[in-house]
Amino acid sequence: MDTILPILAGAIFASGIYLLLRKGLILTIIGIILISNSVNLALFSLGRISTENPPLIAAGSAIPEAPFANPLPQALILTAIVIGFGLLAFALAMAYRSYKELGTIDQDSLLEDAEDTSAAIINKTENKED
Amino acid sequence: MNSLLILPILIPLVTATLALLFRTSSHMQRLIGVAGMAALLVSVVFLFTDVYRDGIQVLQAGNWEAPFGITLVADMLTMLMLGISAIMGLIIAIYSIYDVDKEREQFGYYPLLHVLIMGVNGSFLTGDIFNLYVWFEVMLIASFILLALGNSKNQLQGALKYVIINLFSSLLFLFGVALLYGMTGTLNLADLAQRLPEVENTGLVTTVAMIFMVSFGIKAAIFPLFFWLPASYHTPPVAISAIFGGLLTKVGVYALIRVFTLLFTQDIGYTHTIMLWVAGFTMVTGVLGAASHYEFRKILSFHIVSQIGYMIMGLAFNTALGIMGAIFYVIHNILAKTNLFLISGIAQRLTGTFELKNMGGLYKHYPFLASLFLISAFALAGFPPLSGFWAKLSLVKAGLSLEMYIITGVAILVGLLTLFSMTKIWMTAFWAAVPEKGVPEHFGKMPLFGAGKLYIMVVPVMIVAGLIILVGLFAQPLLEVCMIAAEQLLNPSLYIEAVLGTK
């Protein structure tokens, strides 16, 4: 496991980079998802995988029975997964929204500069109540 | 132990929650928004006196001892950053009362602003590298929504670039954290600082340092990682542009200063030389980019990039004077840059556009606004006796004392080019004649004060301009405080002792 996991993480990271560089917005976001997962895998394998006692403290004692496994990497990964999940949900929602607004998911179209940016703002603020 | 340390995180959280409760009443939201920022400023002032008197303050959450628990640390650098972010938060909250429209208010503008400030403050305070990642994400998600709020076409265009590049940079950061944990088995910054020199594989440590440099570099918008910034910062309402331009990139700079003075000091010849080159290119490309644009906020966005170069240069010098200059520069730049963004908003209200070629006559009809612009622009370019002069002077002195003439020369030249861009804005928007068509009817008739409520936008700008002059005229106290911060940074044992206890 100690050798397979890092290689797997690297392979997933590389595929993520490949997708990140593609034109389609959805492919880019999938690329980010892949990279996110590969980083989690890396975090997991860098925390040293071992088969020892679970880090649970038995009733009556103060420390778990040695040698016990390190629970910290899993806590970190859980946090990272939750954060990543929230951010990616937002990114997907925004991709959908921009598909509706801009009518395309081709990222080359995003390169064009928006025209005068002031118009969009002032019209909306004119009707501000006092 | 100083339990006050939790306040800069707790107050924005409480304010955001309260503002959410009063979602439907924009009147209450504004009131809570401004009051929350004022309370934050007061708490930061109290904390500042503690740190000034007693040195580095530490809070171990839940009494879990470092390195096992969550640690909050406030040294002088943290306090300066907290102070400037609280001041800017208050200024922006007041400015937003008029600038941000009702729709955005109802979609939670004020709660988001406070969550953003909470994330920023958390990043400044945390003493744990993984928590830094978490606070970055708190800050990012709030900034994503603020940037996209309103859903106009160009906002979505800008936000997409911003979101994707920032997600990528966060993942790189997390990967760096994973490598650090794999090497040392700890995430506490102070503990890491102790254990990293013991790691045998120094090549890997330098690799991790570079991963961090790229990741924070994307957030700080350094060369060649800055392209997302001018593509997105000019799209949202001005109040949001201003807080992004003023604060967010500086969080990246803060993170760079923190890790490259505390953690990665093993191979200074390698990492800091790269940083010096990067600093030079950042300054030059930013200012040249600004020269080629004719949109008010785009010019300012490119100048953010250019100014980041100065801060990185100070950090790369790695001397007390250099780091002091960098910290002073951060503070000065947040003031001047935010103010210029805020002024661009007022100018847009008056002329109806951000395009320089469609503007004109602001000096003739609004001489007071013109003088506010001059103060901020000259401060940015580094004219005495304004704040920018002292910032540039200390950096130039630091460069000369190290005999690094080329980079110092570049810094001075870029200062001149900055003046060129500012003159461009001055010549077209302020000095030129009023354009014949396309000028809104209220131009020239709408007073800055009195009817029209424009004063809500002008007063914050006046306050910041006053601060710029104040910092310029009485620079010595602030320079001394920055020096304390720099000395604390260059002596990591103080930080380690404060967190882990004396050994």
| CB contact burial B6-24 (16+ within 10 A = b; e otherwise) | ebbbebbbbbbebbbebee
Can you tell me whether residue B267 is helix, strand or coil? Answer: coil
Position B48: which residue type?
F
Condensed to tens digits (0 to 9), the pLDDT of residues B381-405 reads 888 888 889 999 999 999 999 888 9
Q: Cα–Cα distances in Å, from B119 out to B110, B126, B139, B226, B375?
A: 14, 10, 4, 22, 31
Whole-number Å distance between alpha carbons of B194 and B468: 39
3-state secondary structure B300-360: HHHHHHHHHHHHHHHHHHCCHHHHHHHHHHHHHHHHHHHHHHHHHHHHHHHHCCCEHHHCC
B128 lies in which domain range?
A: 3-500
Position B461: which residue type?
V
Position B276: which residue type?
L
Q: What is the pLDDT of residue B502?
A: 63
Span B241-268, average pLDDT? 90
Residue A19 lies in a domain: yes
Condensed to tens digits (0 to 9), the pLDDT of residues B42-99 reads 999 999 998 998 888 888 888 888 788 889 999 999 999 999 999 999 999 999 888 8
Residues of B in contact with A120 (CB under 8 A): 150, 152-155
Q: What is the pLDDT of residue A113?
A: 56
Residue A120 lies in a domain: no
Residue A24 lies in a domain: yes
Written as tens digits, the pLDDT of chain A (130 aa) is 778 888 999 999 999 999 988 888 889 999 999 999 999 999 888 877 777 777 788 888 877 777 777 888 888 999 999 999 999 899 999 888 888 877 777 777 666 655 544 444 444 444 444 3
Neighbouring CB atoms inside 10 A of B393's CB total: 16
**In contact, B377 and B296? CB cutoff 8 Å:** no
Q: What is the pLDDT of residue A110?
A: 65
Query: Is the per-residue pLDDT at B225 higher than 70?
Result: yes
Collect all residues with Cβ–Cβ distance below 8 Å to B38 and sequence separation of at least 6. B90
Residues of B in contact with A128 (CB under 8 A): 101-102
Token readout for B302 is 């490119």
Whole-complex ipTM: 0.85
Token readout for B22 is 């009063």
Query: In which element (H, E) is residue B72 found?
Result: strand B71-74
Per-residue confidence at B467, pLDDT binned at 50, 70, 90? very high
Condensed to tens digits (0 to 9), the pLDDT of residues B178-216 reads 999 988 888 999 999 988 888 888 889 999 999 999 999
Residue A10 lies in a domain: yes
- The CATH number covering residue A91 comes to 1.10.287.3510
Identify each DSSP E strand in B341-483 by its residue range: none
Residues of B in contact with A23 (CB under 8 A): none
Domains identified in chain A, total number: 1
> In this complex, which of A47, A95, A118 lies closest to B348 when CB atoms are compared?
A118
Q: Which of A36, A101, A105, A117 to mutate to test the interface with B (most CBs of B within 10 A)?
A: A117
A101 touches chain B (CB under 8 A): yes
Interchain pair B171, A118: CB under 8 A:
no
Domains identified in chain B, total number: 1
Dihedral sign of CA atoms B438, B442, B448, B452 in order:
negative
Q: What is the pLDDT of residue B503?
A: 52
Whole-number Å distance between alpha carbons of B291 and B418: 9
Q: Which of B157, B179, B232, B354 to mutate to test the interface with A (most CBs of A within 10 A)?
A: B157
Condensed to tens digits (0 to 9), the pLDDT of residues B443-455 reads 777 777 776 678 8
Q: Where are the alpha helices (DSSP H) in A1-128?
A: 4-20, 25-46, 72-102, 118-126
Whole-number Å distance between alpha carbons of B477 and B201: 43
Collect all residues with Cβ–Cβ distance below 8 Å to B296 and sequence separation of at least 6. B344, B347, B348, B354, B355, B356, B359, B425, B429
Residue A130 lies in a domain: no
Position B196: which residue type?
L
Whole-number Å distance between alpha carbons of B141 and B119: 9
Query: Is the per-residue pLDDT at B39 higher than 90?
Result: yes
Token readout for B408 is 């110092």
Can you tell me whether residue B79 is helix, strand or coil? Answer: helix
Q: Cα–Cα distances in Å, from B297 out to A53, B166, B381, B501?
A: 59, 21, 17, 48
Query: Is the per-residue pLDDT at B499 higher than 70?
Result: yes
Query: Is the per-residue pLDDT at B137 higher than 90?
Result: yes
Residues of A in contact with B144 (CB under 8 A): 87, 90, 94
Collect all residues with Cβ–Cβ distance below 8 Å to B227 and sequence separation of at least 6. none
Closest CA to B102 of B27, B161, B7, B13: B27
> In this complex, which of B103, B141, B164 lies closest to A32 when CB atoms are compared?
B164
Which phi and psi angles does B252 have, rounded to 5°? -60, -45
Neighbouring CB atoms inside 10 A of B170's CB total: 24
Q: What is the pLDDT of residue B76?
A: 92
> In this complex, which of A42, A72, A73 lies closest to B175 when CB atoms are compared?
A42
Collect all residues with Cβ–Cβ distance below 8 Å to B133 and sequence separation of at least 6. A80, B170, B173, B174, B177
Whole-number Å distance between alpha carbons of B490 and B55: 15
Q: Which of B154, B179, B296 to mutate to test the interface with A (most CBs of A within 10 A)?
A: B154
Residue A124 lies in a domain: no
Residue A39 lies in a domain: yes
Condensed to tens digits (0 to 9), the pLDDT of residues B306-338 reads 999 999 999 999 899 999 999 999 999 999 999
Span B218-242, average pLDDT? 88
Whole-number Å distance between alpha carbons of A122 and B4: 42
Residue A112 lies in a domain: no
Closest CA to B130 of A16, A30, A39: A39
Interchain pair A128, B102: CB under 8 A:
yes
Position B395: which residue type?
L
Give the minimum alpha-carbon distance from A123 to chain B in angstroms, rounded to a whole number: 10
A14 touches chain B (CB under 8 A): no
Neighbouring CB atoms inside 10 A of B214's CB total: 16
